[in-house]
Amino acid sequence: MKQYRNLLFDLDGTLTDPFEGITKSIAYALEHFDIETKDLNSLKSLIGPPLKQSLMEIYHFDERKADEGVARYRERFADKGIFENILFEGIPELLASVRSKGHKLYLATSKPTVFAVQILHHFHLDQYFEFVGGSELDDSRPTKTHVIEYVLEENKIQDLSETLMIGDRKHDIIGAKNTGLDSVGVLYGFGDQEELNQAGATYIAEDIPALKNILQL
């Protein structure tokens, strides 16, 4: 198995389980449009991808309405949802082990950078990362491909053969393919094996121990 010097990690569904905070904030936004959410589990598929894109694809919002929905979502998320979040067991140990072996870690998330920085700090994970790359509140870097490109460019990472993207949804895998990276799809997050295989994941990790094995820890 290849050795990868640079590791790009997704946040939601890969390092933390943000189910409660994200789904409650989405339900809050949908309520503004008189859309009732009877079961928060019905919103699980919206965790990971950019919310604006999901609102347009799933609820058929036009761009103006989707932007308003994102604004309503952030209204609750910034106040409450951001810390309605659980760190996956074993993640701090995994990151510490990776760093101790000389790998460089970068965050590549569709979440706005300002929120991602707060979450890493809250869970004391910021110490492990060289750089935090996310989307922006002005809707720049709208896809995971844009985010990964940004992380690579800002850190002058040119040897793509030594760089690996790790995430739980197809958008992470597609973003990696679009930028020439190998990828790991993790099954303990919000994507399933079919989704990750169809997207073209280089490796599949069922759980944290399996991810450690892929990373040769």
Q: At 145, which CATH number?
A: 3.40.50.1000
Digitized pLDDT (tens) for each residue of the chain, 217 residues in all: 688 999 999 999 999 999 999 999 999 999 999 999 999 999 999 998 889 999 999 999 999 999 999 999 999 999 999 999 999 999 999 999 999 999 999 999 999 999 999 999 999 999 999 999 999 988 889 999 999 999 999 999 999 999 999 999 999 999 999 999 999 999 999 999 999 999 999 999 999 999 999 999 8
Catalytic residues: 10
Domain of 178 in residue numbering reads as: 4-15+84-213
Question: Does 39 share its domain with 74?
Answer: yes
CB-based contact 135:112 (threshold 8 Å): yes
Number of domains in the chain: 2
Question: Does 88 share its domain with 103?
Answer: yes
The CATH number of the domain holding residue 47 is 1.10.150.240
Question: Does 169 share its domain with 88?
Answer: yes
- Residue 101 to residue 141: CA distance in whole angstroms: 31
Question: Does 145 share its domain with 77?
Answer: no
The predicted model scores a pTM of 0.92
